[in-house]
Amino acid sequence: MFNLVKGTHDVILDEARKYSYIEVVLERTAELYGYKEFRTPIIETSELFLRSVGDSSDIVRKEMYTFDDKGGRSITLRPEITAGTIRSMVANKLFAMQDYPIKGYYCGPCFRYERPQQGRYRQFNQFGVECAGVIRSERDAEVISMGYNSLMMLGFQNLELKINTLGDEESRNKYKEALKEYFSQYIDTMCEDCKERFKLNILRILDCKVKEDREIIDKAPKITDFLSESAKKDFDTVLTNLDKLGIKYTIDHELVRGLDYYSGVVFEFHYTSSQGKNYGAIGAGGHYNKLIHELGGPEIEGCGYAMGIERLASVMEDDNLFTDIEQFLDVYLMPIGERAINESLSIANVIRMSGYTCDICLENKGMSQMFKKGERRDALYALIIGDNELDSHKFVLKNMMSQEQIEVKENELIDVLDDLFAEDEHDEHCHCGEDHECECENHHDDEHCHCGCHHKE
């Protein structure tokens, strides 16, 4: 038996299905806002993250999986996906060929050498979006509201949106000066990380989680007193737009985020499950001004966020937000005897190619054992075939729940299944029909369902 690498976890079976469900809902919501998918490599040059995430960030200072490949190049497993996404926009000349903003979403594994604990892994999954080419703060508000709405689509109630502005460069420089003056009185008593932050990027001290340091930090100057008129106006625009959209937020002047590229508005989504568990931020993001240019693109600004799939899945599990994601087996084929077993692959083939899930009992068991196996597989129907059925070309189809059974002509099997499943869909599984209220609370028909509920077209 081999052990898992510390800080990693298997996502299998039902859990994998939950992850897929989350990803589909997030992707579909981003598509509603005109975003398209970006799939970029998991390995990138180390330089990319030094340039973007920044050498004062915890990520670059101590969390990156960096190694030299056999050709002596320094390679890093991506700790986040913004840098790779922007890099790909530049490398593929999207800024030269497409209208701004360029809107991309991504989803995939990230790697950080952190201390593993609840909601914190060394390999974890992020879903995120980047809107490259932001010229008005309304766009920032649009991005934030998309993040908020994505979480609503997943069923989150009572979300907490924390928001702050890091101002423009002029405001930030003045603020940093004031922080320097303030913290210089206390820095000798603060934690080692803070001492380093003091030298590298003083703003980051505000992010410190050490209790004794927090008392000092809480009395530090606030960014609001240093904002230029235009930085104030930009922040106000974001907030009034959120107000108009009915999105509640808390302004948190200590929110600075862990990556160096942010400027302007920054935000985090928090959620405490009904069991009282808080896994930290389930998503976070902000506006960036220099990142795109820094990575070789034009001098334009952007805004984005990333959500942690593991944390989303944990809180959703706690709050029973996974609905309708059971995976039933449509048909369990029960061949009785050698002849039926010989025919079973062809029969299952027709069923599967018609879009129904089907499994075969090839173990030549007795009837009652086959039914038990079917139940354990969550089969909806059992299809029973023996010598008589093969001779008469009439099979027995049994509803596993109601135990009702009907005789079905071989050449009508798929038509019968179509009828049965059409009824079932309408009765139980579909949330998109005219008579049903969809969970996303947006009325829509089958074709345009974006809520992520699983139904057959």
| The one among 120, 253, 429, 456 contacting ligand ATP by CB under 6 A | 120
310 in contact with ligand ATP (CB under 6 A): yes
Residues 74 to 103 in contact with ligand ATP, rule: CB under 6 A: 80
Cβ burial 60-72 (10 Å sphere, 16+ → b, else e) = beebbbeeeeeee
How many residues bind ligand ATP (CB under 6 A)? The answer is 19
Min dist. Cβ of residue 89 to ligand ATP (A) = 20
- To the nearest 10 degrees (0 to 180), the angle between helices 169-184 and 192-200 is 140
176 forms part of the interface with ligand ATP (CB under 6 A): no
Q: Is the peptide bond before 41 cis (omega within 30 degrees of 0)?
A: no
Based on the shown chain and the rule CB under 6 A, indicate whether residue 311 belongs to the binding site for ligand ATP. Answer: yes
* CA-based nearest residue to 100, from 136, 145, 127, 128: 136
Minimum distance, C-beta of residue 69 to ligand ATP, in the bound complex (Å) = 24
The reply on whether position 121 binds ligand ATP by CB under 6 A is yes
CB of 157 to ligand ATP, least distance (A): 18
CB of 305 to ligand ATP, least distance (A): 8
> How many whole angstroms separate alpha carbon 277 and alpha carbon 105?
28
Using CB under 6 A, pick the residue from 284, 348, 413, 430 that binds ligand ATP: 284
Question: Does position 265 bind ligand ATP by CB under 6 A?
Answer: no
Exposure class string for 220-231: b at 16+ Cβ within 10 A, else e: bbebbebbeeeb
Among 281, 358, 379, 451, binds ligand ATP (CB under 6 A): 281
Residue 60 binding ligand ATP, by CB under 6 A: no
308 is an interface residue for ligand ATP by CB under 6 A:
yes
With binding defined as CB under 6 A, does residue 126 bind ligand ATP?
A: yes
Task: Return d(Cα 394, Cα 390) in angstroms, integer.
Answer: 7
Beta bridge partners of 329: 379
Q: How far apart are CA 171 and CA 222, in angstroms?
A: 11
Classify residue 93 by its DSSP letter: T
Left (φ > 0), alpha (ψ -120 to 50) or beta: where does 406 sit?
beta
Say whether residue 258 binds ligand ATP (CB under 6 A): yes
CB-nearest residue to ligand ATP? 308
> CA torsion sign, 57 to 100 to 38 to 126?
positive
Residue 306 interacting with ligand ATP (CB under 6 A): yes
State the residues that interact with ligand ATP by CB under 6 A.
Answer: 80, 112, 114, 119-121, 124, 126, 258, 280-284, 306-308, 310-311
